Amino acid sequence: MGIKHRRSDRENPTYASLPYPDGDGDVDIERGVCSDVVIRALHQQGGDLQKLVHLDMKANFSSNPHHWGLTKPDTNINHRRVPNLETYFKRHKIEQPVSLHARDYLPGDIVSWRLDNRLPHIGIVTDRYTREGRPLVVHNIGSGARTEDILFLWKINGHYRYFSQ
């Protein structure tokens, strides 16, 4: 069965103008997509992905994903796109090995997947576990932020440790 991607009025991937610099790089907490969960969590820890991803893309624009036809970085949206976050995390060497062992994923780790329909998805490992020992993950796949047993539900595309444990 599994979790299906069901877009609701709470999940809003539309383009939004966001203050930059010195904004919070975030859409309203009642709206947003999976990347907004990561953006909010890191912002609470002092990380400004809007600024960091923008500066990184500005310095390395030609080596970033170009799925969206942009000709230059856009501070309003680039940090909200999972492939851009994956590129940023890899470039800044916070990538961890992808593993099929739950013990290799620590609370706070960021995990990205490709859903069954090949869409990118991202979430954060929590400090809560299933009875079987799998860590739960907070993510948003259409119904607002949820904590669920999804770590191994889809093909893991990336595993990142933003802050050292």
**How do residues 138-155 score in pLDDT, each as one tens digit?**
999 988 899 999 999 999
More confident residue, 74 or 85: 85
Residue 147 lies in a domain: yes
Residue 26 lies in a domain: no
Task: Provide the pLDDT for residue 1.
Answer: 37
105 and 70 within one domain: no
Domain holding 86, by residue range, is 34-91
Mean pLDDT of all residues in 86-108: 96
Count: domains in the chain: 2
75 and 61 within one domain: yes
Number of H helices, E strands in the chain: 3, 6
Residue 155 lies in a domain: yes
User: Whose CA is closest to 43, among 31, 53, 58, 56?
Assistant: 53
With contact defined as beta carbons under 8 Å apart, do 137 and 147 qualify?
Answer: yes
DSSP state of 137: E
Q: Name residues whose C-beta falls within 8 Å of residue 131's C-beta, 6 or more positions apart in sequence.
A: none
Task: Write the single-letter amino acid at 75.
Answer: T
Mean pLDDT of all residues in 114-125: 96
Query: pTM for this structure?
Result: 0.84
Ranges of beta strands (E only) in 42-161 are 95-96, 110-114, 120-129, 135-140, 145-148, 155-160
72 and 109 within one domain: no
Is residue 11's pLDDT more than 50? Answer: no
Mean pLDDT of all residues in 23-52: 81
Mean pLDDT of all residues in 29-43: 85
